[in-house]
Amino acid sequence: MFDALSIARDLVRCPSVTPADAGALGVLENLLKAAGFETHRVTFGEPGTADIDNLYARIGDQAPHITFAGHTDVVPPGDESAWTHGAFSGEIRDGFLHGRGAVDMKGGIACSLAAVLQYLADHGGKPGKHGKGSISFLITGDEEDLSVNGTVKLLQWVAARGERFDHCVLGEPSNVEVLGDCIKVGRRGSQSGTLYVDGIQGHVAYPQRAANPVPDISRLIVAISDEPLDHGSAQFQASNLEFTSVDVGNTASNVIPGQARARFNIRFNDHHTQATLRELVEARLARAAGNRIKARIVWEPSNSNVFVTEPGSFTDLALAAIEEVTGRKPELSTSGGTSDARFIASYCPVIEFGLVGQTMHQIDERAAVSDLEKLTRIYRGILERYFA
């Protein structure tokens, strides 16, 4: 029951490619119920999206309340014949647990569950000093896809019940090279958009009768992205705007296209909000386009805002637990992409610490058995310090 490797293996054997659950939440729910947790399976959906099953479980009803968050959904395995071991085999070979989700992030969930079960077994089945405290699990099923029917709505559902979290540990694979090298304490925000430039379609032999948007969009791409958005801040690296595609939808070589479009994404730091960022980019576009070029930006909806958990007692106790097990003092980092921590940060301070992320999303994803054991001990150390 308290073995992270066994729990992780059982989770990996559930082919829970978003939006399928494939029994993964049931594995966790059964163990949590047996340990005395009050569990809730909550399904959310909306038109145009798949219904997503989520799990919330809590033991205790007093503060302080620490929650362990994660997702059991995984990305597709790709060409399964290319895997050395089956993508959902959960095979243990050569000191590694093999399979999709072993690192991202079923292994991390298994370690947090094993640590909590061990802690409760050693403390009379109750969290905190004299039973005063709460531990919960916030597990979603759509982090790898749209992230609309998972953590966002589950957090709202918990809040509507009158519950609040004091701190959160998210078990995403935060470490870069070796266990203990990095804690994520923040993330840059993310904003995407599409630049449209309108021209006039025509025959290439008669350019005077047309207006070619291709040279214009090339100039605008340079004008928008050439100048830095900022030079970084105390907690974050510099924001960056990257164009990711340019298209005119034209299959003919003798036709000047009538429109060109270019998609881009911005990863932004705490110098900006989504509103001020859009204003900055729109101003650059207006200056470069002038009155001649007909251009506009269509912004995509985004719930990926910048956040940071400031150093303090919570990060200190996590650092101490990690250093005790690994002998390393991890960097407090805000690098990388987005995660569900961006939603959790609106409810309580959150840190991300899990396994080493080198093989996540890859063929032959795998987690070292020794790392699963160490991560369980680290989570156990966090609990002991948290409720001390």
Catalytic residue annotation: 73, 143
**Per-residue tokens: 238:** 């510099």
> How many angstroms separate the CA atoms of 322 and 378, rounded?
6
Sequential DSSP letters for 333-355:
E--S---THHHHTTTS-EEE--S
| CB contact at 8 A, 190 and 302 | yes
Residue 15 to residue 313: CA distance in whole angstroms = 39
Tokens describing residue 43 = 């399904």
* Cis before 311 (ω within 30): no
Coil, helix or strand at residue 371: helix
Nearest-10 Cα torsion for 185, 347, 324, 336: -30
Measured CA to CA, the distance from residue 337 to residue 49 in angstroms comes to 23
* 150/25 Cα distance (integer angstroms): 13
**Residues, the chain, total?**
388
| 347 neighbors 100 (Cβ within 8 angstroms) | no
User: Which conformational region is residue 133 in: left (phi greater than 0), alpha (psi within -120 to 50 degrees), or beta?
Assistant: left
**How many Cβ atoms are within 10 Å of 156's Cβ, its own excluded?**
12
The closest of 278, 347, 268, 271 to 305, measured between CA atoms, is 268
356-361 — which CB contacts under 8 Å span 24+ positions? 356/103, 356/173, 356/175, 356/176, 356/177, 356/178, 356/179, 357/103, 357/104, 357/172, 357/173, 357/174, 357/175, 357/176, 358/103, 358/176, 358/177, 359/102, 359/103, 360/103, 360/104, 360/173, 361/75, 361/104
